[in-house]
Amino acid sequence: MQASAQAILNEIYTQANPEKAAILARFFKTGPGEYGEGDSFIGLTVPQIRSIAKRHHNTDLPVFAELLASPIHEVRLTALLALVYRFEKAKDQSRRDECAQFYIEHLDAANNWDLVDLTCYKLLGPWLMDYSTLHDWARSGHLWRQRVAIVTCMYRVRRGDFSDAFAIADILLHHPHDLIHKAVGWILREAGKKDEHALVAYLLPRYRHMPRTMLRYAIERFEEEKRQQFLQSRI
């Protein structure tokens, strides 16, 4: 028997921790004018959320839709992770299509960096045949869709294909927000794990003008001497 939205909410709220919630609210910048303004937390850890999500990955999608409409961060993350598990366990393409299309339709619920980073590349990464949608999102001016665009490239980067990651990094190279600098730098660093020469070739024409945070993330795994050469010769 599948659980109702209320039954899943009860499981989530049973593990609420007000002290942890206050810490999370500060960590995820929920104050006025901050990137997570208006988001609410009740204090669950990611392992607690994963456990609930795994138990309910076969829940009907309308139930997930109810959960994704919640103002509570952990409730939305539960639904998004459950959707990822549902996608990964799907045995036929139609069910995978259903999950991915539902994710895209409800993408606005992924409105903080952990909601994006824990889900998008695991679901959209293998599902999208054409990454042109990601290029469009990178140009959208919407912070969270732009983060989805670059982080989803993780799937192909880990398989040695850097073309979309580098192209989207170029689109976001002069983005004003630190959250995008970190995300782009992270994905570039992952590319460097697979092929450091490819990363260096990408960086050489660009690193002098990259945001410092983006560059620092990208070269984090370089040997110290090489890392300092990049940092010290930057404009």
pTM: 0.95
% of residues, the chain, pLDDT over 70: 99
For residue 1, pLDDT beyond 80:
no
SS3 126: helix
The pLDDT tens digits for 108-134 are 999 999 999 999 999 999 999 999 999
Average pLDDT over residues 138-163: 98
Of 168, 130, 127, nearest in space to 148 by CA: 168
pLDDT given at position 146? 98
Nearest CA among 209, 208, 216, 212 for reference residue 188: 216
Which domains are present in the chain? 1-127 (no CATH), 131-235 (1.25.10.90)
The distance in angstroms from the start CA to the end CA of the chain is 61
pLDDT tens digits, one per residue of 199-211: 999 999 999 999 9
Give the count of alpha carbons within 13 A of 200, CB side only: 10
Instruction: Round the average pLDDT of the chain to a whole number and report it.
Output: 96
- Proportion of the chain in helix, strand, coil states, percent, rounded to 5: 65, 0, 30
For 154-177, write each residue's pLDDT tens digit: 999 999 999 999 999 999 999 999
What would the DSSP string read from start to end of 188-234?
HHHHHHH-HHHHHHHHTTTGGGS-HHHHHHHTTTS-HHHHHHHHHT-
